[in-house]
Structure 1
């Protein structure tokens, strides 16, 4: 009889296969076309890797990863439709709270409930949810379906259980005659709780990914050291083995970068307006231009020194230092982006109290937004105070509310401020109660900010892991190279005798130490680049902010690599 564990594995496997089958059915292209154009070529590539692993005259640890790479491509091609469907579900659930909040704001105004769906469908801000809303509107307008029937039909098609349950309950509520606004207001706490659960689950998945990343990088580090040192005994070409492991190391890091991108919450910090260029953007553009120009000059200066045109002996500077020096000017845009991002986060924190005070004051005073802002601009909202003053000034100058709020959100550069300000403006223009709107928006934003605090803690943990594993891996890389370099120098000083040939014991003649050092230096740069991008993916910040970590990780690897070579030379040098 099968044990409970075997039955559990069988059930999970059958569930996975059923979900993959459903994903194939929901693809936008025919299944036969996908199988012929994607899956079969992947299988053929897998067969080629098997033949190559058997036929090539290379070390076993180099040939073994070939079929593994082919198998990985086949598996990826087979489950890609499910991954795509899961990504669609993830995108739905990540903006679901904003979607429902927007719908709630619209429902509290004086418009028809179908018009609520039409307005949501008219925007692309919510990705797959906007597409589903458009399908509901099409069912109502084109196929003359009732709104409750349309919601019920789409509830059976969406990949997210939370969205499916929402549409299903919504259809019953509408059919029962309850108002849309009452239902949506009552759903707010449940939607936020569901979003919190999903967000926290994604952060927990990040913790698992960090442990897996640590294990894999340590394993590949051992393989790289093994590939560097083993040829001294076997006599095989170390350049091939090191290159193969470096390529595998890079692919593994890229795979983890994609995996972290997949499991991380999609909660961007920045909002970059398309209509005009703000002062913040101009500062960052200038910083990138200055940093990039100085980096180009630093590359040129480094090449001049390496070629010996300055009279300085090029060998006095280690190769990793040569590689790290040109990256240093990128600290300029990195520091500027970091400062601007800190201001955005401070504005987000102050916006909660600002929007609540604005809504409450408008309701209490029964006056316009301009009149309320005249008093609010005197209060201290931290970095948001200047934006509030500018908003008041533009409204006072008779600029349209849409344009004034558009400039307000553009200057704030906050994704959350842009979304919630747009909701507040639409709600006010359509007759919604300002106090209710302010409380609704502030409560939702406060929950998101609390989740961001937990995300920030997870990001700091990831940064510590990346810096620690980078330092350990670099030390291991270069200590193997240092040993080989010292043995090469030792064998060169020993002459063969009639009774014993030293080179028959260790094969130092197969080594091109300079080329291997170059490959290891490239590995340090690749590790710094991908690690910096991992931090950017997890924290949701601006891409320019990753320059800071790229420079720091590059210099960390350069210093440790150079110091390791010097240490090995001191300990083993004769």
Structure 2
């Protein structure tokens, strides 16, 4: 929806191209921010899941029936999983097949990591396997996976700390160039009324090139961030919107300041 609104903001014949860039960037970043907020909730569930998994595997390993284990789990605080555990118990109490109940539990949590771990656990239970041995393998897998992901997130944060400021500097540099040529155009426009052979050059092509460059560099940056993080496409939306809005704002602001300054110097 935010992307559709951003496209609509670009198409509407209101304001300059860079003003449209700022508006579309803000709309895209709002959609990305909502998505990142949801992903943060999912990741919190992934952090709370190991405690729930250990609780389930240890009790089932002691030959306690599944419904009794889930019933007792309702009395334990598993943080963000509490609501999903309650739903799981209600389904088991209504004699829903365990496989279907677990599938509903995984859907409620909406995490690929939890879905993979839960699939191994439920298959082990369904086939009568050794849940204690399976749980050790699963915990080792979970530890390695989360450790690699933390390192990836750290590298991504460092990458963001470099790319965004560089992008803003680039947009500001474009603004300085535009401001210089805008002031020069105004100055030549004044001379044109006095000197016949002077013609005022157009700066529109230069501005279109700068606009195209800002969009291309923003896309390049967000795809490199996504390849490094690799978890959510909302990363693309959020940082694309942030870059477009910041780039457009700095471009227009610097252009206006440089144009006014050089124009005031020229007319002294």
**Taking structure 2 as the reference length, what is the TM-score of the superposition?**
0.87
Q: Quickly say closer, same or farther: Cα 1:296–1:485, change in 2 above 3 A.
A: closer
Distance 1:463 1:352 in 2: 30
Deviation of 1:543 (Å): 1.5
**1:394 pairs with one of 91, 107, 114:** 91
Aligned: 1:474 with 2:164: no
Aligned: 1:534 with 2:227: no
Give ranges in structure 1 of 5+ residues lacking alignment. 1-287, 307-317
Distance 1:442 1:569 in 2: 62
- Structure 1 segments (4+ residues) deviating >4 Å: 495-498
Which secondary structure state, in structure 2, belongs to the residue aligned with residue 494 of structure 1? helix
**1:407 pairs with one of 97, 104, 112:** 104
Give ranges in structure 2 of 5+ residues lacking alignment. none
Distance 1:544 1:427 in 2: 34
Which secondary structure state, in structure 2, belongs to the residue aligned with residue 356 of structure 1? helix
Q: Name 2:46's counterpart in structure 1.
A: 348
Alignment root-mean-square deviation, CA: 2.5
Q: In the TM superposition, what whole-angstrom CA distance separates every residue of 1:535-570 from its partner, at most 9, and x where no partner exists?
A: 233222322342221221111101110111112113
Q: How does 1:303-382 map to 2 (within 5 A)?
A: 303=13, 305-306=14-15, 319-364=17-62, 366-382=63-79
Q: Name 1:442's counterpart in structure 2.
A: 139
On the 8 A contact 1:351/1:384 being kept in 2, the answer is: yes
Q: In the TM superposition, what whole-angstrom CA distance separates every residue of 1:514-536 from its partner, at most 9, and x where no partner exists?
A: 23212212322232233233323
Which secondary structure state, in structure 2, belongs to the residue aligned with residue 493 of structure 1? helix
**1:515 pairs with one of 197, 201, 205:** 205
Deviation of 1:466 (Å): 1.5
Deviation of 1:439 (Å): 2.6
Q: Name 1:421's counterpart in structure 2.
A: 118
Q: In the TM superposition, what whole-angstrom CA distance separates every residue of 1:185-230 from its partner, at most 9, and x where no partner exists?
A: xxxxxxxxxxxxxxxxxxxxxxxxxxxxxxxxxxxxxxxxxxxxxx
Distance 2:235 2:25 in 1: 14
Deviation of 1:373 (Å): 0.9
Aligned: 1:455 with 2:148: no
Q: Name 1:555's counterpart in structure 2.
A: 245
Q: Out of 512-521 and 422-431, give the one that drifted further.
A: 512-521
Distance 2:106 2:239 in 1: 28
Distance 2:192 2:98 in 1: 88
Distance 1:381 1:399 in 2: 23
Q: Name 1:524's counterpart in structure 2.
A: 214
Q: Quickly say closer, same or farther: Cα 1:495–1:394, change in 2 above 3 A.
A: closer
Distance 2:192 2:48 in 1: 76
Distance 2:19 2:90 in 1: 52
Distance 2:231 2:87 in 1: 25
On the 8 A contact 1:359/1:436 being kept in 2, the answer is: no
State the aligned residue count: 264
Distance 2:239 2:116 in 1: 29
Name the larger-Rg structure: 1
